[in-house]
């Protein structure tokens, strides 16, 4: 039996991004691992010194394909 290598610990800081229209329609994404569960974009920093705005942009792109600020 092969034991997989340990995962690096998650950085205990994350972002929650709310994307909305001028009319306040909010973008929610359905979780891939739990059908029927919807949430906003969230995710942890990749490094302790990563700025929150960079984390937010990266997570939005990873989870939706939307490039923020372009």
For each of the chain's 70 residues, which pLDDT tens digit applies? 889 888 888 888 999 999 999 999 999 999 989 999 999 999 999 999 999 999 999 999 999 999 998 5
Instruction: Give the separation between CA 59 and CA 24, rounded to whole angstroms.
Output: 21
Q: Are 39 and 31 in contact (CB under 8 A)?
A: yes
DSSP line for 3-66: PPPPPPPPPS-EEEE--B-TT--B--EE-SSSTT-EE-EEEE-SSTT--HHHHHHHHHHHHH--
Rounded to two decimals, what is the model's pTM? Answer: 0.79
Q: Where are the domains of the chain?
A: 14-64
């Amino acid at each position: 039996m092969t034991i997989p290598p340990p995962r690096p610990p998650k950085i205990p800081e994350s972002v929650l991004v709310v994307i909305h229209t001028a009319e306040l329609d909010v973008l929610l994404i359905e979780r891939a691992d739990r059908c029927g569960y919807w949430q906003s974009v969230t995710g942890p920093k990749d490094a302790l010194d990563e700025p929150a705005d960079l984390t937010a942009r990266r997570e939005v792109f990873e989870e939706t394909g939307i490039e923020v600020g372009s």
